[in-house]
Amino acid sequence: MINTGNRRGDRIFSGLTLAAAAVLVLVLGSVAVFLITQSIPAFTANETTASLLDSTFWAYALPLLFGTVWVSVLALIMAVPVSIGIALFITHFAPRRLAGILGSLIDLLAAVPSVVFGLWGVAVLAPALQPVFAWLVENVGWFPLFEGPVSATGRTILTAAVVLAVMILPIITSLTREVFKHTPKLSEEGALALGATKWEMITMTVLPFGRSGILSASMLGLGRALGETMAVTMVLSATGGISWQLLTSQNPSTIAANIALTFPEAYQTNINVLIATGLMLFAVTFLVSAVARLIVRRLTVA
C-alpha cells in the first residue's frame, strides 16, 4: 500500500502557499478599500472644509489630471520614435557582437533612480535647454505651443517631459526590441531577395509585424510616465491651472508631483483630497495598463 504518512506536511505546505496568495489578494483589496474610503470625504469638500480647495474638489483635481496626462503624452511623443530607432539599431543595424552590450547600456538607464534624474534635470538639463527655449520663443513664437514669454529658469513642462521621456526609454526599447527580434526570418529574407533595400525590408516586414508590440510597449511607458513623481516634482516649477504653452513659467502641475509637494504639510480633509487625487491617478494608470494587456493578449492569440 502507498504510505500516506507524510500527508500532513503536504497539507501544511500547500496551506502556506495558499495563505501567501490570500495575503496578496487581501493587501490589494485593502489598498482599494483604503483609497476609496479615505477619498469619500474629499468629493463633498469645499473651500471651508479643506484649505487646499478654491471651490470644489473637481475644480482642484481636473487641472492636475490635465497636467499629468499632458506631460506624459509629451514624453511619449518624444520617447516612442527614439525607442523604435534604438530597437531597430540594436536588432538590425549594429554589429551582432555589439548588440548585447548596446542593449545593456540602454538598460543601464533604467537603473538610475528617479531622484537622480530629477537632480540632473534641475542642475544640468534645465539650464542647458533654457537658451533653446528662448530661441524657439523668439523665432517660432507664432506657433501656439511655443508662445512666450519664455521661462527664465528653463524648468517648464517641456523640460519635465524630456526627463520623463529619458526615463521611459528603456522599458519601451526593451519591449520593442523583443518584438523586432521575433520578426519571421523568412519574410525578412524574402523582402531582401526581391531586391528591397534594408530600410524597405524594415518598413515591409519588421514594422508591420511589430505594430501591436510597439503599441503595447508605448502604453506601458505611458503608465510609467503617469505615475512618475520625483523627476517632475524636482524639475517642474508648477503654478497650477491648465495651459498648453510649453516654454513659459506658467505650468500645470501633475497629480503625483502635487502629492509629493503638498502632502508633508497637509492635515485633516486636505489629506483626503490628496488621497482622492491619488485614487484618480491609480484609476488612470490602471486603465492604461489594462489597454496594454488587452493588446498583448490579442497579439498572443493571433
Partner 1 sequence: MLKNTVSKTRKLKNGVATTAVSLAFLIAVLPLVSVIYTTISRGFARLDIEFFTYSMRGIVGEGGGILHAIVGTLLITLAAVIISVPVGILTAVYLVEYSKPKAASAITFLVDVMSGIPSIVAGLFAYAVFALILGPGTKLGIAGALALALLMIPTVVRSSEEMLRLVPRDLREAALALGAPKWATVLKMVIPTALGGIVTGVLLGIARIIGETAPLLIAAGFTASMNYNLFVDRMQSLPVYVYTQISNQGNPGWAFEDRAWSAALVLILIVLALNLVGRLIARFFGTKSTR
Cell of 137: 520663443
Is 209 a binding residue for partner 1 by CB under 8 A? The answer is: no
Is 300 a binding residue for partner 1 by CB under 8 A? The answer is: no
155-194 residues near partner 1, rule: CB under 8 A: 166, 169, 173
Is 90 a binding residue for partner 1 by CB under 8 A? The answer is: yes
Reduce the DSSP state of residue 194 to 3 states and report it. coil
Cβ-based neighbour number of residue 129 at 10 Å: 20
**Choices 28-36, 54-62, 149-157, 241-249 (CB under 8 A): range interacting with partner 1:** 28-36
116-145 residues near partner 1, rule: CB under 8 A: 116-120, 122-125
30-59 residues near partner 1, rule: CB under 8 A: 30-31, 34-35, 38
Is 102 a binding residue for partner 1 by CB under 8 A? The answer is: yes
| Near partner 1 by CB under 8 A: residue from 1, 6, 95, 96 | 6
Over the window 265 to 294, marking each residue x when it contacts partner 1 by CB under 8 A and - when it does not, the resulting string is --xx--x--xx--xx-xx--xx--x---x-
C-alpha 200/C-alpha 275 separation (Å) is 51
Cell of 2: 502507498
Name residues whose C-beta falls within 8 Å of residue 299's C-beta, 6 or more positions apart in sequence: 212, 213, 216
Is 153 a binding residue for partner 1 by CB under 8 A? The answer is: no
| Near partner 1 by CB under 8 A: residue from 93, 135, 143, 244 | 93
Is 18 a binding residue for partner 1 by CB under 8 A? The answer is: yes
The closest of 157, 287, 155 to 227, measured between CA atoms, is 287
C-alpha 28/C-alpha 45 separation (Å) is 27
The closest of 114, 213, 126, 220 to 164, measured between CA atoms, is 114
| Near partner 1 by CB under 8 A: residue from 61, 217, 226, 246 | 226
Q: Nearest-5° angle of CA 199, CA 80, CA 105?
A: 85
